[in-house]
């Protein structure tokens, strides 16, 4: 085992023992790389001979620059094939070449531009009725049974059929392609044994032959419908851009990508939501949450765990020197659980406003073209199931098996059960979600005002709780929420104890010359009122790695600062607070600052409250600097 990286640096025990094909990574890649996100966000793994990238900002930076970080190895076999397997592939005429996934510029964008038309929202809308009808027909087969494996009964089938219809494959040819895409996944991203490689090579070869035959039939129908027919027409129009070899390679690649990623993503989504019945019930009660629930599940447990890039020149990623030619495994599953970007990343929050920041679809010019097809399918699945089987639940104590590979994740089965006597007799109204990312207008969380306190002159402190006494998402110092009430939408910092699950606290200054929001709260809000909130989110995050801190606040600006002081005290970090105000009676949280933080003065941590110069009263100050 190598004890140094290709740049000559020592390799840590964690980095050298990390294994993408066995153990924790195959069970939960995000959790398996928690140590990396915290301590070693970019490391060299001698087993795989790849640099592993685990933090959100670093993964996004790699995606962003597809010149510096070439996608050319994205479809390269991660486990080299023996010569015998290569010979088998040749016997089938296998000639997989570049596709939109793994080609460099300028060829990539030239092709992408001429092939985007079928992915436009108005074009995808045309597929909705057929997907909904297909979903209902498949559900009809088992809805009275009370138990089903959703993978074999439905989610392995429908995404494949949708992908094939989208491509324009005829119904007669669909049967020929049902069982091939898994072989492509194992061949490219798995670690099959030498004997398994030979079997996989035969399957991949047959997949290639079948796809090629279907493509030839399509070329005989120049006016046919579907993306491949459109691609063939673009090939005739731009033969140097959409080449013959590209046609053949894309026919196979897009079948595997469109089928397996959506199938796995759907199974993961149902598993995640049904694992916590409160989340499932939430979307049953409020179907408008379905689009965001899809995104949150794609973030929390997406079907694409990792992707690959190659450094074209020596560079630096996350403070680590990477040599020219280095291969990078950028782990999206880990990035999607990075607490530096997502609040409470290990919790499912159906109201999370920035959940569409997830990297499961990639990022930048190589972002998945089919992302809105996947969204559309998954939303329709959830909508139909929540209407027709709202009482659905997971079969207890079932074991989940995953196909061992670096990049694609989804259990091979998902058993669910329900009481057929409780099935609703009729279908509810269809929501008809728009194609694309979810609307942020549908993400507000209904909460209740449980306390209103006069904190000081013209400042009220509101306590808000979930109306069903459920816990609200955790938050970190510096966080704020959007508060929606009386036609207003305002942002307020959270200032209560961050560990008080189930309640948030806000302090709001009455501004008579403002835009009316704070005035409305002071004059109209009462205990028991219901309001809507969005968040929490944090654009003013406390860096907990400093040696000491100086916290400065004026007036109502103390709200995020006091939360930071609470956290620093909890961490036993040295800090000072400078808090300015006109007079003591206008300064919120003075009493709490004296109670909770003045003891620091004895340990040479100062709490200093400056009065304005026009005040003139020395008793307005706890101390002077």
Domain CATH for 50: 1.10.630.10
State pTM to two decimals. 0.83
Residues 494, 578, single domain; the answer is: no
Mean pLDDT of 603-624: 35
**Cα distance between residue 428 and residue 389, in whole Å:** 12
Could you tell me if 416 and 511 lie in one domain? no
CA-based torsion, 497, 503, 504, 509: positive or negative: negative
The upper half-sphere exposure of residue 316, i.e. CA atoms within 13 Å in the direction of its Cβ, equals: 3
For residues 416, 419, 422, 428, the Cα torsion angle rounded to the nearest 10 degrees is 20
Contact between residue 326 and residue 53 where contact means Cβ atoms under 8 Å apart: no
Residue 50: pLDDT band with limits 50, 70, 90: very high
- Computed over its alpha carbons, how large is the radius of gyration of the chain? 28
347 and 393 part of one domain: yes
Nearest residue to 307 via CA among 367, 245, 260, 371: 367
614 by Cβ neighbours in 10 Å (0-12 / 13-18 / 19+) ranks as exposed
How many CA atoms does the CB half-sphere of 578 hold within 13 Å?
A: 7
Name the band, by pLDDT with cuts 50, 70 and 90, for residue 608. Answer: very low
In a domain, 490, yes or no: yes
Confidence of residue 429 (pLDDT cuts 50, 70, 90): low
* Owning domain of residue 594: 549-620
Alpha carbons 281 and 267: distance in angstroms, whole number: 18
Question: Region 583-603: what's the mean pLDDT?
Answer: 75
Lowest model confidence (mean pLDDT) among 18-27, 110-119, 492-501, 565-574: 492-501
Strands (E), 486-526: 488-493, 503-509
* Residues in contact with 316: Cβ distance below 8 Å, sequence separation at least 6, in sequence order: 322
Residue 186 has pLDDT above 90, yes or no: no
Q: Is residue 428 part of a domain?
A: no
Check: CB of residue 609 under 8 Å from CB of residue 583. Answer: no
The CATH number for 514's domain is 2.40.30.10
Confidence check: pLDDT of 235 > 50? yes
Q: What percent of the chain has pLDDT over 90?
A: 48
In a shared domain, residues 118 and 224: yes
Structure tokens at 349: 């929050």
343-370: pLDDT as tens digits: 999 999 999 999 999 999 999 999 998 8
CA quadruple 187, 193, 194, 196: dihedral, nearest 10: -60
pLDDT value at residue 465: 92
Is the model's pLDDT at 218 over the cut of 50?
yes
If asked whether residues 448 and 572 sit together in one domain, one would say no
What is residue 425's predicted lDDT score, i.e. its pLDDT? 65
Indicate if 475 and 597 belong to the same structural domain: no
Query: For residues 52 and 43, what is the distance between their CA atoms, to the nearest angstrom?
Result: 5
Q: Give the pLDDT of residue 140.
A: 95
What pLDDT, on a 0 to 100 scale, did the predictor assign at position 601? 35
Mean pLDDT for 289-297 is 97
Euclidean distance between CA atoms 553 and 221, whole angstroms: 71
Q: What is the mean pLDDT of the chain?
A: 87
Please report which residue ranges of 324-416 form alpha helices under DSSP H. Answer: 332-335, 371-388
pLDDT of residue 56: 98
Same domain, 346 and 493: no
Q: Which of 517, 538, 559 lies at the terminal end of a domain, its last residue?
A: 538
Cβ burial 455-468 (10 Å sphere, 16+ → b, else e)? bbebbbbbbbbbee
In this predicted structure, which of 85-89, 215-219, 253-257 has the lowest mean pLDDT? 253-257
In contact, 289 and 283? CB cutoff 8 Å: yes
Residues 522 and 404 in one domain: no
The pLDDT of residue 464 is 93
Cβ-contact 539, 568 below 8 angstroms: no
E strands, 325-411, are 327-331, 393-394
**Has residue 617 got a pLDDT over 60?**
no
Whether 78 and 198 map to the same domain: the answer is yes
Which residue is listed with tokens 């895409």? 181
pLDDT in tens, 479-522: 999 998 888 888 999 998 766 777 899 999 888 777 788 888 88
Residue range 113-143, pLDDT digits in tens: 988 888 889 999 999 999 999 999 999 999 9
Q: Which residues contact 231 (CB under 8 A, 6 or more apart)?
A: 115, 242, 247, 250
Looking at the fold, whether 448 and 369 belong to one and the same domain comes out as no
The number of folded domains in the chain is: 3
Task: Please check whether residues 399 and 451 belong to one and the same domain.
Answer: no
Inform me whether the pLDDT recorded for 222 exceeds 80: no
pLDDT band at 602 (very low <50, low <70, confident <90, very high): very low
Residues 104 and 151 in one domain: yes
């Amino acid at each position: 085992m190598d004890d140094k990286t290709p740049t000559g640096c020592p390799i840590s025990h964690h980095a050298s023992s990390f294994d993408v094909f066995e153990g924790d990574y195959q069970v939960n890649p995000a959790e398996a790389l928690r140590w990396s996100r915290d301590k070693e966000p970019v490391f060299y793994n001698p087993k795989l001979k790849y640099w592993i990238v685990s933090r959100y900002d670093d993964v996004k930076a790699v995606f962003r620059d597809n010149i510096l970080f070439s996608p050319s190895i994205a479809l390269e076999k991660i486990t080299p094939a023996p010569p015998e397997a290569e010979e088998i592939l040749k016997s089938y005429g296998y000639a997989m070449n570049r596709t939109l996934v793994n080609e460099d510029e300028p060829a990539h964008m030239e092709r992408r531009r001429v092939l985007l038309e079928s992915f436009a929202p108005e074009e995808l809308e045309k597929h909705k009725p057929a997907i909904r009808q297909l979903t209902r027909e498949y559900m009809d087969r088992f809805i009275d049974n009370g138990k089903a494996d959703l993978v074999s009964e439905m989610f392995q089938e429908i995404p494949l059929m949708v992908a094939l219809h989208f491509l324009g494959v005829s119904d007669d040819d669909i049967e020929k392609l049902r069982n091939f895409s898994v072989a492509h996944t194992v061949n490219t991203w798995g670690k099959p044994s030498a004997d398994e490689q030979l079997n996989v090579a035969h399957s991949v070869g047959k997949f290639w032959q079948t796809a090629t035959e279907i493509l030839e039939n399509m070329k005989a129908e120049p006016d046919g419908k579907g993306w491949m027919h459109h691609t063939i027409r673009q090939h005739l129009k731009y033969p140097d851009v959409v080449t013959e070899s590209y046609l053949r390679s894309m026919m196979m690649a897009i079948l595997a990508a469109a089928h397996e990623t959506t199938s796995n993503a759907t199974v993961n989504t149902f598993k995640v939501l049904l694992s916590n019945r409160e989340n499932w019930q939430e979307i049953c009660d409020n179907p408008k949450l379905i689009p965001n629930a899809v995104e949150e599940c794609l973030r929390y447990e997406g079907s694409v765990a990792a992707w690959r890039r190659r450094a074209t020149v020596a560079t630096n990623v996350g403070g680590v020197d990477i040599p020219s030619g280095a291969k990078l495994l950028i782990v999206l599953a880990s990035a999607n659980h990075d607490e530096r970007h997502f609040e409470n990343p290990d919790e499912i929050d159906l109201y999370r406003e920035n959940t569409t920041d997830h990297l499961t679809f990639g990022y930048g010019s190589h972002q998945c073209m089919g992302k809105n097809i996947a969204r559309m399918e998954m939303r329709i699945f959830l909508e139909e199931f929540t209407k027709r089987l709202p009482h659905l639940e997971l079969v207890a104590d079932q074991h989940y098996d995953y196909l061992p590979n670096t990049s694609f994740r989804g259990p091979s089965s998902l058993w669910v059960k329900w009481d057929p006597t409780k099935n609703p007799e009729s279908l509810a109204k269809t929501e008809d979600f728009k194609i694309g990312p979810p609307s942020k207008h549908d993400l507000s969380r209904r909460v209740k005002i449980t306390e209103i306190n006069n904190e000081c002159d013209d400042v009220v402190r509101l306590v808000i709780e979930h109306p069903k006494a459920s816990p609200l998402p955790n938050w970190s110092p510096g966080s704020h929420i959007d508060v929606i009430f009386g036609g207003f939408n305002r942002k307020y910092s959270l200032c209560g104890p961050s560990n008080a699950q189930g309640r948030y606290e806000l302090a709001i200054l009455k501004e008579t010359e403002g835009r009316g929001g704070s005035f409305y709260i002071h004059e109209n809000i009462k205990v028991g009122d219901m309001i809507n909130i969005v968040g929490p989110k944090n654009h003013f995050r406390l860096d907990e790695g400093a040696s000491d801190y100086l916290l400065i606040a004026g007036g109502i600006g103390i709200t995020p600062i006091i939360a930071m002081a609470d956290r620093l005290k909890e961490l036993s970090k040295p800090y000072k607070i400078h808090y300015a105000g006109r007079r003591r009676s206008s300064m919120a949280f003075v009493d709490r600052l004296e109670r909770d933080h003045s003891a620091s003065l004895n340990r040479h941590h100062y709490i200093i409250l400056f009065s304005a110069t026009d005040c003139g009263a020395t008793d307005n100050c706890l101390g002077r600097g």
